[in-house]
Amino acid sequence: MKAARAQEMSGRDPGEPHSPAALEAVRLTKRYRGTWALRDCTLSVPAGRVVALVGPNGAGKSTLLHLVAGLIAPTRGGIRIFGEPVGQRAAALARVAFLAQDKPLYGGFTVAETLRFGRHLNPGWDDALARQRLAELDIPLNRKVGKLSGGQRAQLALTLAVAKRPDLLVMDEPLANLDPVARHDVMRSLMAAVAETGMTVVMSSHVVSDLTDACDWLVVLNGGHVQISGEVDELLAAHRMLTGPAELADGIAARIPVIGDSRSGRQAVLLARTGPGTPSHDPRWRVSGVSLEELVLAYLRHPDATVLPRPALTAT
C-alpha cells in the first residue's frame, strides 16, 4: 500500500531502463500436432504497462497467454517474467494471476466461500482488499455465485485475481459476453486496481475499441506472428491518414510505408507510417491522425507489414 501511494505522488514512470521487462519472449514457438499456434514470437513489454493483445480468432492470443501464465510449455523458445524464466517454479508462478476466458467459478459456492477458497490457494492473498472491492461493487458475500449477474461474476473473478496481489495479471477476453455497462464497470475497477498496485496487465480482446483508453501498450498477433509491439502513444504518433488525389497515391507509396490503401474514383485514403516523405506541406493532401482501431485494422489486413521496435538483446 505504501509503495502504491508513493507511486501515486511521484507520477508512475513505467519502463525504467534498468528494471527487467515484465514480459519477455524470445523466438517463442508452440506447435499443436501439425499446426503452428505461435511461430518465433519475440517481444518485450516494460513493467507497469496495461497491454492490449489483439488479433483475429486463431491468431494465437490464447496460446500466448497460456504460455505466459505457465499453463503450457513452449515447443521452442523461451519466456521470462520480470527476468525469471517461466517454468514449473512456484515462486515465478505466484507473481502471475491468470483469468481464463470462461471465468471458472463454482456456482454452488457463496461469494464468501469463494474468497475462503482463494485464501487457501494463494499464499500472498489480500483478504482485506478482496472484501473492500466487493463492498464497493455492492456484491453481497452471502449470495451464491450461481445467482450473480454476468457482470458481477466477472467482477468477482477479477477480484480473486487482484487479491492474489500478482505483479502480472493475465486475462483472456475478460470483457467477452458482457453488456456495455458491465464492460465499462469491469474496466473502471480494473484501472483503479492498476493505479493502486502498479501491476502489469496483459489482456486479450478482439474488440479494439474496448481497450483504447485503458491500454498503453499494443501487441498485435496475426497468424501466429507478432505483427506489432509498441507503446500506443508512439504508434499513433508514427502513423497518419492521408486523403488526396488517387493519381498521386503510388508516388506516396514509393516514398513511405503505406499500410492501408483504399481508393474510390479520384480519391485515395492512405494509412501511412510517417517519415521524411510524408506530404505534410502539400496542399493536395489532407493529413489527419489515426485511431487505434484504424491502425489495428490496417495492419491486420496487411499481414506483411510490421512494427517491431528494438529487438530484445537477451537471447536464450
Partner 1 sequence: MIKFRLDPGSGVATYLQLVHQVKHALRLGELMPGDQLPTIKEVVGDLAINPNTVAKAYRELEREGLVAGRPGQGTFVQLSLRGGSTADHARFRRDLAQWVRACRAAGLGQGDMEALFASVLADSSQQEIA
**Which of residues 78 and 198 has its CB atom nearest to partner 1 in the complex?**
198
| Least CB distance to partner 1 at residue 287 (A) | 12
Cell (9 digits) for 246: 488517387
**Which of residues 7 and 29 has its CB atom nearest to partner 1 in the complex?**
7
| Least CB distance to partner 1 at residue 158 (A) | 13
Widest CA span of the chain, in angstroms?
Answer: 68
What is the C-alpha to C-alpha distance for residues 185 and 218, in angstroms, rounded to an integer?
22
What is the C-alpha to C-alpha distance for residues 41 and 26, in angstroms, rounded to an integer?
6
Alpha helices per DSSP H over the chain: 2-10, 61-68, 90-94, 111-121, 127-136, 150-163, 180-197, 232-237, 249-255, 292-300
**Which of residues 12 and 76 has its CB atom nearest to partner 1 in the complex?**
12
| Least CB distance to partner 1 at residue 42 (A) | 24
| Least CB distance to partner 1 at residue 169 (A) | 14
**Which of residues 6 and 135 has its CB atom nearest to partner 1 in the complex?**
6
What is the C-alpha to C-alpha distance for residues 94 and 189, in angstroms, rounded to an integer?
22
Alpha helices per DSSP H over 53-110: 61-68, 90-94
266: left (phi over 0), alpha (psi -120 to 50) or beta: alpha
| Least CB distance to partner 1 at residue 304 (A) | 29
What is the C-alpha to C-alpha distance for residues 33 and 152, in angstroms, rounded to an integer?
38
CA 187, 189, 194 angle in degrees (round to 5)? Answer: 90
**Which of residues 184 and 206 has its CB atom nearest to partner 1 in the complex?**
184
| Least CB distance to partner 1 at residue 95 (A) | 20
CA distances to 192, 261, 264, 283, 302 from 252, rounded to whole Å, are 44, 11, 17, 14, 17
On whether the CB atoms of residues 27 and 76 are closer than 8 A, the answer is: yes
| Least CB distance to partner 1 at residue 86 (A) | 25
Site residues for partner 1 per CB under 8 A: 5-6, 8-14, 48-50, 184, 187-192, 194-196, 212-216, 233, 236, 288-289
On whether the CB atoms of residues 44 and 219 are closer than 8 A, the answer is: no
**Which of residues 135 and 195 has its CB atom nearest to partner 1 in the complex?**
195
| Least CB distance to partner 1 at residue 162 (A) | 13
Bridge partners for 287 per DSSP: 242
| Least CB distance to partner 1 at residue 13 (A) | 8
Amino acid (1-letter code) at residue 89: R
Specify the DSSP element, H or E, that contains 273.
strand 267-273
**Which of residues 157 and 249 has its CB atom nearest to partner 1 in the complex?**
157
**Which of residues 108 and 180 has its CB atom nearest to partner 1 in the complex?**
180
What's the chain's length in residues?
316
Residue 137 phi, psi (nearest 5) = -90, 0
**Which of residues 48 and 77 has its CB atom nearest to partner 1 in the complex?**
48
Specify the DSSP element, H or E, that contains 119.
helix 111-121
